[in-house]
Amino acid sequence: MADELARSTAPITVAFSHLAKDIVAEVAPDQSDYLAAVTEAVEAGDRRARLLGGAVGSGVEPTVLAELIYPLLTGTVAQVLGAAGFAALQRRKWWRRKNKRGVRPSATISITAAQVAPMREACLAHGQVLGLSSAEATLLADALERALLRSLDDQ
């Protein structure tokens, strides 16, 4: 029992990319390969191509989970861990950071069991901020919760 109590309060370390992979594999398994490409691109800085005058674009981006997952996790973590905790994830100085909008997929977070529920709620709220419907946000929030609980159990 003491061991269980110890386990429930001890933080676990989990990588963003692991969470993203778990969530996408559960919710949209057909996008798993694409997620790998997204992860690689975001890790490298994810610079947008500048086409100057040689192209005429649509002005919209496709709505796929693999593109949305990292901004969703970033916003969720920031909301739960707070600004200090979020800043700690930014291991590089700000001027050396390529991806100014969020954390790199290889970044890890430390959470406790007590933070799982808040993470779920934050994900639900942030998902709707990103334009997801309530049902979609709930789906993702539940998937995040299960992924976090699996990580805790694995430890």
Partner 1 sequence: MNTVPRAGLWWVYLLVFLALAINGAGAAQALFMTNDLGDTRTVLACSAAHGISMAEPLIVNPVRDGAAYDDCSRDYNVELGTTMVLGAVALPAAALLLMVLGGLAVRRRSRRGPNSFELEARFDALCVSQGLVGRRRPRLVLAARASGIRQAFTTGLPGARPWVVVPEAYAHVDPNEFEIVASHELGHVHANDVLWASAVWWTGWLPLPVLLFSVLALFEDPDAVWSFYGEHLVVSVVTAVAVLALRAALLRRRELAADRYAGEVLGDPRAVRAVLVGTTRKRPLFAVHPSVAERSTSGGQRWEGGLIVSAVAGVVAMLFYQVCHFVIRAFAGATADALVITDLPLALGCVLWAAVLIPAWTRRARASEAGWIGPLAGAVVGVVGGFEIQVPGAAPSLPVVLAEAVVEFIVLLGLVALTAAVLARAVAIRLAGATGAAARVGATLAVAFVLSSGIALVTGVLSATVLFDTTAMVRRLVVGEGAGSKWMVAGLVLIVGLALVWRRAGGIWIAVAGALSGGVAAALLWLLRFEPDQSEATDVVLAYQAWWICALAGWVVVVFVLLTHRGEPWVSALLLGLAAAVVAGLLWFVIVRLSGSGHGWSAFTASLSLPSWLLLVAVFATVPVLVLAARHSLNPSPLAWSAATLAVTSLLAILMTTDSLSTITLARSDGDYSFTTKYDPPPPPAANPNATRPLTPTDVTAAISAAAATLPAGTVEVPTPPRSAGPATIPSTCQETIQRNNAAEAATPHNADQTRTFTVPIEGIPDGVEVQIHLTSYKTDPHVLTNVDEAIHVCDRYAFPTPTFDNGVIRARMMARTPPPSPHPTRVLANLAYGTKNSIRRHAIGQTHFTTPGNNVIEISILWAYLALPPPPTVLATVDRIPNDLTTHLLASL
List residues binding partner 1 (CB under 8 A): 28, 30-31, 34, 37-38, 40-41, 44, 46-49, 51-64, 66-67
Chain position carrying tokens 């991806």 = 99
What is the smallest separation between the CB atom of 18 and partner 1, expressed in angstroms? Answer: 19
What is the smallest separation between the CB atom of 73 and partner 1, expressed in angstroms? Answer: 18
Comparison of 2 and 57: residue with beta carbon closer to partner 1: 57
Comparison of 17 and 151: residue with beta carbon closer to partner 1: 17
- Angle at 88 (CA atoms; ends 87, 92), nearest 5 degrees: 85
Please write down the long-range contacts of 122-125, taking CB distance under 8 Å and 24 or more positions apart.
Answer: 122/75, 122/76, 122/77, 122/79, 122/80, 123/72, 123/73, 123/76, 125/79
Comparison of 82 and 131: residue with beta carbon closer to partner 1: 131
